[in-house]
Structure 1
Amino acid sequence: MVRKAPGNSSFDFGHTINFTMNMNIPSPKSSVHNSYVFNSGIQEAIIRAKSSKLETPRAQDYETTLLPCGYVFKLHLNSSYGDQFYIGLNGIEIYDAVHNKIPLTINNVQAIPKSIQELPNNKNDVRTLDKLIDGENYTWNDRHMWLAPYIPGQTNYLYVIFEEPVAVSMIKIWNYSKTVSRGVEELEIYADDVLIYKGFLRKAHEQGSDVDFAQSILFTNDSSIVKKERDYIYSRVGSDQEVHFYNDSKVVSKKLPNPMRMMSVHSQNNLARPMTSVTHKS
C-alpha cells in the first residue's frame, strides 16, 4: 500500500518505503516497531480485548471504532473557544494497538497553517509544531505550546503522518492553556480520510489548577486502559445545542452554540488581528 496524498501541496507528502524492516517479526522492546506491525500487533490487541473482562468506558462524544488503522491521522480543528484570530494546542500523544506511546518527531507532524510564524513580524515566535511533541503538555508555559492563525468559519488542519500503517488505541490531547479561549473546541479526527471521531475538546484549566486537563479519546475497550484513562474522558453531547423559547407561538429568546462560529469570514477579515508574540528573548 502507498500512502494517500493529502490533496494539497502545503507540505512534502512523499512516502518512504523501508526495505530493511521485517514486518512479520515484531520487536517487543520497541513501541515503534510494534505499532507498525499490522498483522501481529492488531491481532494481539483484538485477541486480548475479546478474551479479557471488558470495561464499559465513560460516554464519549462519538462512538469510536476498535483500533482504527492508517498512515495519516488528520485532525480538523473546526473552532476555538471564542478567540477570533488564533487557535492552538499544548500537546498530543498517540498510542499503538498494544497501548505503547508512539515516539513522534517533527517529521511526523504537519499543519495548515503551520504555525503563527506564517504571520508577518512573527518569524521568531517559538510556538511552533515541535512543541506539540516535546513532552511538556501539562503546562502554562507558552514556550511549550503550538499556536496558529485562525479565521472563524474556516478549518485548521493538523496531520500526524507515518510511513507504515499504525493501529491506534488512544489519542491524548492537551488543549491550549496560556489563553484558554484560543484552545480547540470542535474537533474531527480522520484515519486515511475516514472519520473516526467527532466531538469537543475539554477546555484547559486556568493557571494554578492542580488537575491535569488532558483528554483521552479511546479506540479500545481493554479494561485496564479504560480504568486508567477514565478520568480523562470528556463528553458534552447535548450541552451545546441551539435552544429556542416560545411564548404564544413566538420566539422570545434563543441560545446559540457559539457566536464566534456564526461570524462570517468577511466580517472577521475587517477586524485587525491583535498582535501576539513569544520569542526566545521575551
Structure 2
Amino acid sequence: MWSTPFLDGDVIVLTISFPVIVYIAAVRVWNYNCTADLTYCGVKLVTVYLDGKLVSPGVQGLLTLRRAPGNCHFNFAQDLSLSEQLPYNFIRNSLFLASPHSGSGVMLGDEEYESPVMPQGFVFQLLILSTWGDPYYVGLNGLELYNQDGDKIRLTENNIGAFPDSVNVLEGVNGDVRTPEKLVDGVNDTLDGRHMWLAPILPSQLNRIYVVFDYPVTVSMIKLWNYGKTPSRGIKEFEILVDDLLVYNGVLDKVQGITKTAVKVPYRTVLFTADKELVKREHSNQVRNSSYGHDVQLLNDHQRVTSGGSYISADQSQRPLTSLVPTTHSRSLHDL
C-alpha cells in the first residue's frame, strides 16, 4: 500500500506516465485498506487530469472514492469512469437524501416503522443473523434494488459479493453453481439451484451479502426472494447496512407451500419510501419488522451468540454434505 503525510489544505499529486500515447476510459482504484480503523486514512475526493487538462466529470471534476471495507470479503476495486454519462456528480456530505414526501416513516401493517427514507451510499450490506432452522447453511434465491424513481437498478456480477462466498469455500467442495452472482441473474421465482446462492454458516462469523457500487446510489426499495430449494436454509432475521450504518432490521418469511406442481417463491419488500402508491402496492409483500432483540444476542462486532432460528454452536463435524455441480458439458446437475 501507499501512504503519505496529509494536512488540510494539502494537494497530493499522484502522477502516472506512459512512454507512448494511450487512451484512457476509466481509472480503477483500491482505497487504503490496512485495517478497519485506518480505512479512514483513505482518499475521499480526487480530480483526474490528462496532460494538464481536467477530464474527470462531476462538480469541478471532483470524484468521490469509496472507503475501503477494512476486510477482503469482496473485491473492493472502484472504477472511476471518465465519461460524462455516469452520475459521478453525486457529491454528498450526508448519507441520506431528504424525502420528497411528507411523513417521518413508512407504514408496515398496523405499526409505524421509523426507517430512513431512501438511503444513499456505495455499499449495501445484508447482514444475516439467523436461518429458519438449518445450523449449517444459509441461502437466498435473489434480490433486486430500486432507485429513487422506483426503477429497478441493473446489477451484474461486478456489483455482488458474499462472505463466506459460497459452499465452495468448504474443503472438498468445488464447482458448486450456487454462487453470489446468481442472486442478480433475474431468475428468482424458482427451485432450480442454478439460480440461487448458498453458503456455509461458520463458527464465529456472520454471513453477509454485499451490493457494491462505484458511485453513490439512492435506494427506495429492496426485493428479496428467500431460499426455495430447502426452506429451512432460508434467511430469517437480518439487518441492512448502508456504508456500515444500520438502516433496517427485519424477519424474512420462510418459503412455504412448495410442491412439484405448485412452484411459487414469493418476494418480500423492504421499503425506504413514503410514496403512498408504492406503499399501497407493496403492502402485502412487506418484510416484517424484527423483534430479534428478545431472541438474539450480539457482541460489539456483530458476532452471533444465539438466534431464533440457527445456532452458531453447531457441531462442524456433523455438517451434511451439499453439492450442486454440472455432471457433464450439458446443463444437467448432480445434487448431493
Report the TM-score range of the alignment, normalised by the length of the smaller protein. 0.7 to 0.9
Note if 1:92 corresponds to 2:143.
yes
The amino acid across from 2:70 in the alignment is G
CA distance in 2, matches of 1:124, 1:220: 40
What is the TM-score with the length of structure 2 in the denominator?
0.66
* Mean CA deviation greater in 138-147 or 161-170: 138-147
The amino acid across from 1:3 in the alignment is R
Q: SS at the partner of 1:226?
A: helix
Note if 1:147 corresponds to 2:194.
no
Q: Is the 8 A contact 1:45 1:97 kept in 2?
A: no
CA distance in 2, matches of 1:10, 1:238: 28
- Name which of 73, 76, 86 aligns with 1:10: 73
CA distance in 1, matches of 2:236, 2:112: 12
Q: Is the 8 A contact 2:231 2:256 kept in 1?
A: yes
Name the counterpart of 2:124: 73
Name the counterpart of 2:281: 228
What is the TM-score with the length of structure 1 in the denominator?
0.78
Gapped regions of structure 1 (runs ≥ 5): 24-32, 243-255
Name the counterpart of 2:159: 108
CA distance in 1, matches of 2:106, 2:74: 41
Q: Is the 8 A contact 2:106 2:273 kept in 1?
A: no
Question: What pairs with 1:168-179 in structure 2 (closer than 5 Å)?
Answer: 168-179=219-230
How much has 1:204 moved relative to structure 2?
1.3
The total of aligned residue pairs comes to 249
CA distance in 1, matches of 2:157, 2:83: 22
Q: SS at the partner of 1:17?
A: strand
- Percent of pairs identical after alignment? 39
Is the alpha carbon distance of 1:87 and 1:202 closer, same or farther for their aligned partners in structure 2, counting shifts above 3 Å? Answer: same
Deviations 1:179-215 (A, max 9, x none): 1111111101111111011121111124235655211
Note if 1:207 corresponds to 2:258.
yes
Name the counterpart of 2:322: 276
- Name which of 188, 210, 216 aligns with 1:159: 210
The amino acid across from 1:115 in the alignment is S
CA distance in 2, matches of 1:127, 1:149: 11
Q: Is the 8 A contact 1:77 1:155 kept in 2?
A: yes
Q: SS at the partner of 2:214?
A: strand
Bigger CA radius of gyration: 2
The amino acid across from 2:284 in the alignment is D
> What is the RMSD computed on CA atoms of the aligned residues?
3.0
Q: SS at the partner of 1:107?
A: helix
Name the counterpart of 2:248: 197
Q: SS at the partner of 2:155?
A: coil
How much has 1:279 moved relative to structure 2?
1.3
Higher helix share: 1
How much has 1:131 moved relative to structure 2?
1.0
How much has 1:58 moved relative to structure 2?
2.6
Q: SS at the partner of 2:277?
A: helix
Gapped regions of structure 2 (runs ≥ 5): 1-63, 296-305, 328-333
* Mean CA deviation greater in 211-220 or 161-170: 211-220
Q: Is the 8 A contact 1:60 1:233 kept in 2?
A: no
How much has 1:153 moved relative to structure 2?
5.5
Tell me: higher relative CO, structure 1 or 2? Use CA pairs within 8 A at least 6 residues apart.
1
